[in-house]
Structure 1
Amino acid sequence: MKASKIAYKPVGLLLGATSGMIAAAAFKQAWKMLGHDDDAPDATDQDRTWGEVLIAAAVQGAIFAVVKASVDRAGATTVQRVTGTWPG
């Protein structure tokens, strides 16, 4: 295993946790802007429709994927600038 890949492991873990927090905050704001309640529905919310639950899940999944990819890419790019090698 390359040294840059080993060195990137703790950075990747930290970035993963950070991206989760960023994505959660972004989803909460996006759900408010969509004109729905302050809280997105859970799959087990009896008072919510299938449509609400599935739309919330799709929006949340898309936001999490974009934020995670953005943060991971930025982290890898930064590691390359600092070390001179791509961490992958």
Structure 2
Amino acid sequence: MKASKLVYKPVGLVLGAVGSTLAGAAFHQTSKLFGREQKANDTTEADRPWRQVLLAAALQGATFAVVRAVVDRSGAATTRRLTGS
């Protein structure tokens, strides 16, 4: 394994944790835009229609994927600039 990949491993772990936190906050803010009083990912509520549950799940997945991609890409670019490889 290259030294640069070995150096990036702990950085990637920290960035993953930070990215998850940011993604959770972004999803929470996004779900507030829809004016839902309930927790958006509370799928066990009997009075919530399937459409609403599935839409919330898709939105949460998309939010996490986009935030993770931004954090991973930024972390890799910064590491590349600092280490030169």
Would you call these one fold, judging by a TM-score over 0.5?
A: yes
**Structure possessing the higher relative contact order (Cα contacts under 8 Å, 6 or more residues apart):** 2
TM-score between the two structures when normalised by the length of structure 2: 0.94
Structure 1 gaps of 5+ residues are: none
- The question of whether the paired residues in 2 share the 8 Å contact of 1:16 and 1:68 is answered with yes
**Where has structure 1 moved over 3 Å in runs of 4 or more?**
none
* Other-structure match for 1:74: 74
Cα distance between partner residues in 1 of 2:73 and 2:7: 16
Q: How high is the sequence identity, in percent, across the aligned residues?
A: 58
- The question of whether the paired residues in 2 share the 8 Å contact of 1:32 and 1:38 is answered with no
Deviates more, 1:41-50 or 1:76-85: 41-50
Cα distance between partner residues in 2 of 1:79 and 1:5: 10
For 2:22, give the aligned amino acid.
Answer: I
Which whole-Å deviations, capped at 9, do the CAs of 1:10-45 have from their partners, x for residues lacking one? 000000000000000000000010222252142222
32 and 38 in structure 1: CA distance in 2 versus 1, 3 angstrom threshold: farther
How many residue pairs get matched?
85
* Other-structure match for 2:35: 35
Cα distance between partner residues in 1 of 2:27 and 2:4: 33
Cα distance between partner residues in 1 of 2:41 and 2:3: 44
TM-score between the two structures when normalised by the length of structure 1: 0.91
For 1:34, give the aligned amino acid.
Answer: F
- The question of whether the paired residues in 2 share the 8 Å contact of 1:19 and 1:71 is answered with yes
